[in-house]
Amino acid sequence: MQAIANALVYAVTYINLRAADGDGDDDVAALESIAGMLNAATEEEKEALASAAERALANERDYVAREEFVRDYSTWMEDMFGDGWVGNKRA
């Protein structure tokens, strides 16, 4: 599950940053679809995603950090699931 969570966190972040740059409505639609699918995530899956977001954030900071990735990884769970999350931690 860790590899899948890592890949999903990166893919969503990448698409989100493309969408923020105005690269197209398809990116926004993809993010909305992914968020919709993740509404069915179990608590175990959410914990795996939160851990993956924290790993991605730590890895990004360990190298020449891209600020836009740091910002996105810092609030990944809160952005994806909203209430109940502060950054990548449960509220």
What 3-state class would DSSP assign to 85? Answer: strand
Q: How many CB atoms lie within 10 A of CB 43?
A: 8
* 89 within 8 A of 53, measured Cβ to Cβ: no
Global pTM reads: 0.89
Rounded Cα gap, residues 9 and 58, in angstroms: 13
Per-residue pLDDT tens over the stretch 24-77 = 678 888 999 999 999 999 999 999 999 999 999 999 999 888 999 999 999 999
Measured between its terminal Cα atoms, the distance across the chain in Å is 23
